Amino acid sequence: RCINVNNWLYNSIEKKYLNNKHIIDWIFKLSKTISSENENNVCSFYSYDEIYVEPINIIQLKMFDANIAVIKSILEDESDPNNASAQKYLCKFVRLYKKMYNTYCSSTRTKNYKENITCGELNTLSSSYSMLRLGKPDISGKVPSLDANEHELLEICPQDNSEAELLPQEGDISGTSTSSKISTTIGTMAGVSSVFALLYKVKRNFYL
């Protein structure tokens, strides 16, 4: 949850929805009050700008790592109304991963501090992605390789031109269902605040 708060804050600051330092400080002071009985649960502000190159892209990619189980369960269920949207999400993930990796990590030149940290994070994400792709043969055909070229991606990725709308699951009232979780994931991948993605149906008329 702390990671999600930091992701939402960074996205809000990046899009200039939020630029008041006092509000940000108050949010994290509140977390200390709530966690007073257990200091290990204190949530601290995480400065992505000081660590990563193109941090908004890293945040979008890290959302995959936080939602692997959700994505896997949707892909395993052919009747799930979000099946195609989850597959399209993975295609977006692969394209963004390849863009970041090819820009900052494939070269043999000496990397600066941010590039080293960024490439380390990309390597971690690569391992997680490979576990999803190779660990579940029944869905591997829906999970494109990180090494796939654009032609291969076009073959495996759903190509309908209609907007892929995430449909609410039956009984989805509390906002904690698989539908809500994948809405958060895909919404953030599309550049939308995860909070807004939870409140509204997410359509793919957004762009990275």
Query: 146-202 pLDDT, tens per residue?
Result: 998 888 888 888 764 444 444 444 444 344 444 444 444 445 444 433 333 432 333
Q: Which domain holds residue 153?
A: 55-199
Q: Which residue has the higher pLDDT, 70 or 4?
A: 70
pLDDT of residue 195: 31
Are 116 and 186 within one domain? Answer: yes
Of 4, 98, 101, which Cα lies nearest the Cα of 43?
4
Are 11 and 110 within one domain? Answer: no
In the listed set 28, 46, 64, which residue is the last one of a domain according to the structure?
46
Pick from 100-104, 139-143, 169-173 the range whose average pLDDT is largest: 100-104
Specify the number of domains making up the chain.
2
Are 154 and 183 within one domain? Answer: yes
Kindly report the pTM of this predicted structure: 0.67
Are 16 and 62 within one domain? Answer: no
Are 118 and 165 within one domain? Answer: yes
Are 32 and 75 within one domain? Answer: no
pLDDT of residue 93: 92
Are 23 and 121 within one domain? Answer: no
Are 36 and 65 within one domain? Answer: no
Are 59 and 36 within one domain? Answer: no
